[in-house]
Amino acid sequence: MKIGELAKRSVLTAHTIRYYERIGLLPYADRDRSSRRDYDGSILVWIEFLGRLKTTGMPIRDMLLYADLRDRGSGTEAERRALLERHRESVRAHVDELNACLLVLDTKIGGYAETEQRMKDYDATLAERRRKPVGARSPRTR
């Protein structure tokens, strides 16, 4: 698979794939005789996992640590696990924070909804008054 094809099959652009290789997030890809990158489909799994780390807010710096442990292979499992566990906790904490913010947002939106409802009620009252005027006055608009 050439870089263009990989770009289509992943969420990354060819530019980003080269950039990730440069910084070490993607392994150095084998080149064909004309020095073009030729990928194995298995790289997609790694890219997808990197995507999860990115989505969950892990900085590239930390992804590099993980990628390095992975490259070093067996014997690094405990460290990799520890890294992911630390990250998981920070993601959980962030989710909790977001949920707390969602409550505040709900309250705020609820406040606007009430205001809107009061305005509708007021309009309805005015309409009612136009239909059944209270005094001797005729209905008016201002």
Region binding DNA by CB under 7 A among candidate stretches 15-23, 69-77, 90-98, 100-108: 15-23
d(CA 40, CA 64): 21
Binder of residue 18, out of DNA, a second copy, none (CB less than 5 to 8 A by kind): DNA
Q: Note whether 54 binds DNA by CB under 7 A.
A: yes
Q: Select the binding partner of residue 34 from DNA, a second copy, none (C-beta < 5 to 8 A, by kind).
A: DNA
Q: Does 52 bind DNA (CB under 7 A)?
A: no
Single-letter code of the amino acid located at 83:
L
| 35 contacts DNA (rule: CB under 7 A) | yes
Binding partner selected for residue 95 from DNA, a second copy, none, CB under the kind-specific 5 to 8 Å limit: a second copy
CB of 57 to a second copy, least distance (A): 9
Question: Which residue(s) pair with 37 in the sheet?
Answer: 31
Cβ neighbours, 10 Å, residue 33: 6
Backbone angles phi, psi at 15, to 5 degrees: -55, -50
Total residues found in the chain within this entry: 142
- Contacts with a second copy, residue ranges (CB under 8 A): 49, 52, 55-56, 77-78, 80-81, 84-85, 87-88, 91-92, 94-95, 97-99, 101-102, 104-106, 108-109, 112-113, 115-116
Q: Is the CB of residue 1 less than 8 Å from the CB of residue 41? A: yes
- Cα separation, 15 vs 30, in Å, equals 17
Which residues 6+ apart lie within 8 Å of 95 measured at CB? none
Per CB under 7 A, residues contacting DNA are 2-5, 7, 13-16, 18-19, 22, 29, 31, 33-37, 54, 59-61
